Amino acid sequence: IFDAYRAAYLAAHQVAAPLDRLAYCALIYVADTPALAREGAQKLMWYMHSNKVATQYQNPPGYHPPAISAQMLRGNASKRNEATLDDQIARGNVFAGTPDQVYQQIKSFWEYSGGFGHLLMMGQAGFLTPEETKRSMYLFGQEVFPRLKALNAGYDEGRMQELRAATPDVAI
């Protein structure tokens, strides 16, 4: 989706799309240790497993690998619900771990997508307690967000195009 948007923006405006025109939303859970992060992220995954998404939003273009999207269109949505936390992290739908791990996951996805200026996060769902949610958001705000701001500040369109071209799509 990012590639198509950038191409259409360039065709319409004769300049590259600025980062602030692109956004991404993911489930995010940050914790002090990998074990706590995994436990919290599993609770956050309730959102995906409980299928609380309205039907019209369950299969947006580019959200799932083409093979999964085709299964969903044929009425077999079970693959989406069978995806493990590790699958969702690998797909970039969930970022979970310590602050360093979450930053690296987001940075990798940011580079893969060609960069985006806005990151929206869903940091509370399912059975996360208020304390778990607050701690995750605190760690994100204190230890991840400042590095993301620096990442965007150092955006180089040419370098990002090279990174995007060198990063193949992987079906998971």
pLDDT at residue 166, as a whole number: 85
Distance CA 40, CA 141 (A): 17
Distance CA 1, CA 164 (A): 13
pLDDT at residue 79, as a whole number: 47
Mark out the alpha helices in 31-156 (DSSP H runs).
34-44, 46-49, 66-73, 78-82, 85-91, 99-113, 130-139, 145-153
Kindly give the confidence (pLDDT) of every residue in the chain, 172 residues in length, as a single tens digit, with 9 standing for 90 and above. 898 999 999 999 999 999 999 999 999 999 999 999 999 999 998 887 776 667 666 667 766 677 777 777 776 554 445 789 999 999 899 999 999 999 999 999 999 999 999 999 999 988 999 999 999 999 999 999 999 999 999 899 888 888 888 887 766 6
Q: What is the DSSP letter of 59?
A: S
Is the pTM higher than 0.95? The answer reads no
With beta carbons less than 8 A apart as the criterion, state whether 119 and 22 touch.
no
